[in-house]
Amino acid sequence: MSTCTRVLKFYDAVIRLIMINKANPSEIELYVIARIKEKRLDAKLSQSKFALEMNLSYGFIGQVENPKRRAKYNLNHINQAAKVFGCSVKDLMPDNPF
């Protein structure tokens, strides 16, 4: 096997690992998603109303809340969600690190 072929196989393996990690949200990401969904439901906001408040598409909210999808909230989304719910960003994050 040539060096070029070995390098290509190595990069292919790295890309597959990256894609697997993107497909599987981490524990903290799952926690934040669940916490925001809990706050959304407590506020009696539908996905579409919450999306409107967040200035996001309602489809994005559905993808984030669907465990089969890779979409997740970033720090800007978490900050905006705290504004929508009138709470601190800390209220959407775990008390202790995972």
pLDDT, tens digit, 9 for 90 and up, residues 6-35: 767 776 666 666 655 555 788 999 999 999
- Residue pair 63/69 in contact by the 8 Å Cβ criterion: yes
74 Rama class: left (phi>0) / alpha (psi -120 to 50) / beta:
beta
pLDDT given at position 2: 76
Largest CA distance in the chain: 61
pTM to 2 decimals?
0.76
Query: What is the rounded distance in angstroms from the CA atom of residue 91 to the CA atom of residue 35?
Result: 8
pLDDT given at position 29: 93
Of 82, 96, 95, nearest to 40 (Cα)? 82
Fold of 25-92: 434 Repressor (Amino-terminal Domain) (1.10.260)
